[in-house]
Structure 1
């Protein structure tokens, strides 16, 4: 069969695409940035597209030509600079359904349980709207609603679980006693395969979860043991104390950063993640313990867990460093331009000082915007090297200055390289 997968570069979509390709299907993967995925999965046909801009039926007609099934693995947690939930999860899907008619293309929709806590939030409301229209569209469809998805890789909530489990000394948790059901990402891919093969009749609406139910604290401790770390006590944090972190995470979302600590995730977790109906017996599911045991951790997993929550303070620290390094000299520009006076006229020294300050501040502001972060970090690195080279040539004695104006650039270079190394989200 020819199968189109939406969100094929994502955590779930990449596994689904690999499974269907291994089964002999001709898979086309749709994603916003498929270049790296094309290198990792060359047997899949890749097409670049942004669902948030595919809100009219005509946007889909060419892509749907020759396809027998569409698997929707795309989704986002919360509105922000990088995500428009209404466009991606509702409008694009309605346009897709309209473009499919009157064909018999099967739609396999990976959704979520849309009632309970957070049901009014855009994350679940937009999914529910798309599911409702799909159910009344007359198209053949299967809706799959997985619980918290675990796998070898990690993204979003699963990444946060690993990060929390690697905390030193204690495990700081909000809603530590909330019940959480899980499902292995391979089992989600198996359910998609079963849907494609016709195991489930059109109109099926299936919840996917293993039989075992954990508390959030138990699940974090399970991951901690998986990482090879000794047990640690749980520090239960009242939700009210976590609101500043949630607020900052929401603000970061408007700058393009997809933090799992945003308010939507916290609201959903207040009730836990549990399914209302059992998974069909024809779809055996692995427990969280079995899922982790089937994928033994390595040192790279421990590195990821320890670095994950450090990304935000690293980026924020670099931003503050560059903003202040540009702002402080502007408070006394005459004094700041003094080192240039032996080499150029006073007006030129003043102009150069102001220019370098503005460059520093521009990098400090731009790095906070996710779409500009990589270029900003590369700019920081290049400018830092230029400062070191210029200072060495013009005033080599600065290397011996008690305040270390050149020596202090070296740690910022290393921090910039660290930020570049951990910048990618998937």
Structure 2
């Protein structure tokens, strides 16, 4: 057994990284978590550091290892596909190359535990999977003490990414096409992943059982994607409902919309890469892992849990995909309404102000200004980084319209189509979007 060492977790704000960081601390390990940015609820004091680690050179990484007296590095960093600020080659391959140089230059007995993806590489068709496999090859050729872990589909109490998507599919009255539901989809409990990392961290650097290992981490029982969703459906209490099968072309279209959303800063769980990886499936051979550390992996039912879902679980699962619909509808509401008033129905919008005795010199500036403001609010809501500000601006503008109309044109409240009355639900919808904006 190895003396207690300091552990460095890279990517400590992600699903696996956050769970590993928290659970290792609960087990008594000294853990420093590194992430580019944490959600406010994720920060756990001075041991969680916000550092742009992906932009660090090998020399800076060497200093990080030495300064924190690190004996184990757990690399949980990964991105699904290219996008603004994300380059899969830079993240998966180039960063790992710098990290390996840093470990070598530190001249310390450091074990690298690298989180990769299942499979032997013959079905790697996406940039995500190919660059992940390139990182594996760099590690195995480096001469470092390493353990490459290839988890199956990770099931954790927290819902994020693919786990959140499967919960949402289970909660809604829809199901994936038959070809997708039949895909092999072996799972692993996050507790089993943490147990494995804890076992590796406690082994001496010279222990051959923990050196140069590549393990598939997953329950040995073969299951399908449909079975995983079915287990979540039982947990949510909707197993007896009869969902409608989603047409495959609609699923592909949703992935394209997901790609578009990713360029606006969002991280939708369904994108073309995610769909390709889902269709490839998750399969592997956990026997070497099980034999070496003596673990009995949790089954799918044990990982999801036999208890019925709590009300917060149900609300999250039902609202997760609806959230995208809410954001999208608000973007269309503001941009289209502004465009119509500015381009298509400009004369009618201007005539409305004229009929209520607005000074003629102000009619055009007010009509154009409010239309451009509405379109700007829609664009702000569309971008993830500015969405909160756009929603607040939208609520403020809507309240301003209602107040101004009450003072200047109170008769609009009893207008047959109820334009002002319908503004109130729009404000509520923006408030709902604002309160559900957090992604972690």
TM-score, length-scaled by structure 2: 0.89
Aligned residue for 1:367, secondary structure, equals: helix
Q: How far does residue 353 in structure 1 lie from its aligned partner after superposition?
A: 1.6
Maintained 8 Å contact 1:118/1:268: no
Measured in 2, the distance between the counterparts of 1:105 and 1:321 equals 55
Aligned residues: 422
Give per-residue Cα distances to partners, 1:262-319, cap 9 Å, x unaligned.
1222222223211134232322210110112266520111111111111221111111
- Between 7-16 and 398-407, report the one with greater CA deviation: 398-407
State the match for 1:337 in structure 2: 350
State the match for 1:377 in structure 2: 391
Maintained 8 Å contact 1:176/1:236: no
Aligned residue for 2:431, secondary structure, equals: helix
Cα separation, partners in 2 of 1:299 and 1:117, compared to 1, 3 Å: farther
Measured in 2, the distance between the counterparts of 1:360 and 1:37 equals 33
Measured in 2, the distance between the counterparts of 1:287 and 1:351 equals 66
Q: Is 1:122 the equivalent of 2:136?
A: no
State the match for 1:250 in structure 2: 259
Residue of 183, 205, 218 corresponding to 1:209? 218
Residue of 5, 23, 31 corresponding to 2:27? 23
Cα separation, partners in 2 of 1:115 and 1:211, compared to 1, 3 Å: closer
Measured in 2, the distance between the counterparts of 1:228 and 1:112 equals 31
Measured in 2, the distance between the counterparts of 1:390 and 1:77 equals 47
Residue of 139, 144, 148 corresponding to 1:139? 144
Maintained 8 Å contact 1:114/1:128: no
Measured in 1, the distance between the counterparts of 2:404 and 2:247 equals 52
Measured in 2, the distance between the counterparts of 1:124 and 1:51 equals 22
Maintained 8 Å contact 2:220/2:285: no
Cα separation, partners in 2 of 1:191 and 1:411, compared to 1, 3 Å: same
Measured in 1, the distance between the counterparts of 2:116 and 2:186 equals 16
- Between 242-251 and 318-327, report the one with greater CA deviation: 242-251
Aligned residue for 2:147, secondary structure, equals: strand
Measured in 2, the distance between the counterparts of 1:152 and 1:296 equals 13
Residue of 50, 60, 78 corresponding to 1:48? 50
Aligned residue for 2:40, secondary structure, equals: helix
Measured in 2, the distance between the counterparts of 1:314 and 1:241 equals 19
Once the two structures are superposed, the pairs formed by residues 259-274 of structure 1 within 5 Å of their partners are 259-274=268-283
Residue of 75, 96, 119 corresponding to 1:72? 75
Maintained 8 Å contact 1:5/1:29: yes
Give per-residue Cα distances to partners, 1:45-71, cap 9 Å, x unaligned.
1211334433x2134244322222211
Give per-residue Cα distances to partners, 1:146-201, cap 9 Å, x unaligned.
00000111111111111111122x53445111111000011111111111111742
Aligned residue for 2:282, secondary structure, equals: coil
Maintained 8 Å contact 1:171/1:233: no
Q: How far does residue 246 in structure 1 lie from its aligned partner after superposition?
A: 1.9
Measured in 1, the distance between the counterparts of 2:32 and 2:315 equals 33
Measured in 1, the distance between the counterparts of 2:222 and 2:421 equals 53
Q: How far does residue 116 in structure 1 lie from its aligned partner after superposition?
A: 5.2
State the match for 2:374 in structure 1: 360
- Between 101-110 and 170-179, report the one with greater CA deviation: 170-179
Q: Is 1:389 the equivalent of 2:403?
A: yes
Q: Is 1:171 the equivalent of 2:175?
A: yes
- Structure 1 residue runs of 5 or longer lacking an equivalent are none
Measured in 1, the distance between the counterparts of 2:259 and 2:60 equals 31
Aligned residue for 1:141, secondary structure, equals: strand
Q: Is 1:416 the equivalent of 2:440?
A: no
Maintained 8 Å contact 1:217/1:234: no
Q: How far does residue 75 in structure 1 lie from its aligned partner after superposition?
A: 1.4
Once the two structures are superposed, the pairs formed by residues 226-241 of structure 1 within 5 Å of their partners are 226-233=235-242, 235-237=244-246, 239-241=248-250
Measured in 1, the distance between the counterparts of 2:127 and 2:114 equals 18
State the match for 1:188 in structure 2: 193
- Structure 2 residue runs of 5 or longer lacking an equivalent are none
Residue of 300, 315, 324 corresponding to 1:288? 300
Measured in 2, the distance between the counterparts of 1:337 and 1:71 equals 62
State the match for 1:94 in structure 2: 97
Q: Is 1:110 the equivalent of 2:115?
A: yes
- Between 146-155 and 345-354, report the one with greater CA deviation: 345-354
Give the root-mean-square deviation of aligned CA atoms.
2.2
Q: How far does residue 241 in structure 1 lie from its aligned partner after superposition?
A: 4.8
Measured in 2, the distance between the counterparts of 1:12 and 1:294 equals 22
Q: How far does residue 240 in structure 1 lie from its aligned partner after superposition?
A: 4.2
